[in-house]
Amino acid sequence: MNPKLVAVVARSRNNVIGLDNGLPWRLSSDLKRFKALTMGKPMIMGRRTFESIGRPLPGRASVVLTRDPGFTAEGAHVATSPAEALATARRLADLMGADEIIIAGGGEIFRAFLDLTDVIELTEVALDTPGDAHFPPLDMAHWREAARENGLRGPKDEVDFAYVTLKRRRD
């Protein structure tokens, strides 16, 4: 089995995905969607993303990609190259019976795996905001919008949003 690579990301209109190692908005609905999309699957994330979460997420396997060969993270798998992270995630996907590997960010990690990514589960956050982490620009010649749903803004959501599924064109 060759699991698909699925990037799960929330980004603003100006491509911001993070500020000061956190999210520049509060979207409880999107966090619930993230959990639903990632449960039972291995996730590749960068060290700063892992540290911002603070722990391995329950029901998922975390592969932390870092340039620091001495980095350790209790309960997570550590890799020092994208190839090692992908090999570890594939092994974990096989053990977990998962047909997807989640690319969970941040910006450098999305960039490192973008050419291998099959699907992008995107939350379009309806604002322009300052930030220090960005999603790489997408060449839409390589992607097609497969689904779009306007999010229902709940009481713990600061801003409007839409869920968009992008699939890589294989033609």
Number of domains, the chain: 1
Decide if 136 is inside a domain.
no
CATH number, domain at 17? Answer: 3.40.430.10
Decide if 156 is inside a domain.
no
> How much is the average pLDDT of 115-134?
96
Q: What is the model's pLDDT at position 117?
A: 97
DSSP label of 19: B
Q: What is the model's pLDDT at position 61?
A: 98
Domain that holds residue 45: 4-125
In this predicted structure, the answer to whether residue 134 has a pLDDT above a threshold of 80 is yes
pTM for the predicted model, two decimal places:
0.95
Mean pLDDT of the chain: 95
Q: What is the model's pLDDT at position 71?
A: 96
Question: In residues, how long is the chain?
Answer: 171
Burial of 41 (0-12, 13-18, 19+ CB in 10 A): buried
58 to 31, 37, 108, 125: CA distances (angstroms): 14, 13, 24, 26
pLDDT, tens only, 31-57 = 999 999 999 999 999 999 999 999 999
Decide if 166 is inside a domain.
no
The answer to whether the bond into 59 is cis (omega within 30° of 0) is: no
In this predicted structure, the answer to whether residue 98 has a pLDDT above a threshold of 90 is yes
In this predicted structure, the answer to whether residue 115 has a pLDDT above a threshold of 80 is yes
Contacts of 133 (CB under 8 A, 6+ apart): 16, 17, 18, 19, 105, 106, 107
pLDDT, tens only, 72-85 = 999 999 999 999 99
Decide if 157 is inside a domain.
no
In this predicted structure, the answer to whether residue 171 has a pLDDT above a threshold of 90 is no
Decide if 162 is inside a domain.
no
Decide if 161 is inside a domain.
no
Decide if 170 is inside a domain.
no
82 to 38, 45, 66, 72: CA distances (angstroms): 19, 10, 9, 17
Q: What percent of the chain has pLDDT over 70?
A: 99
In this predicted structure, the answer to whether residue 136 has a pLDDT above a threshold of 80 is yes
Token pair belonging to 82 = 């994208």
CB 69 within 8 A of CB 88: no
When pLDDT is cut at 50, 70 and 90, the band that residue 170 belongs to is confident
Decide if 134 is inside a domain.
no
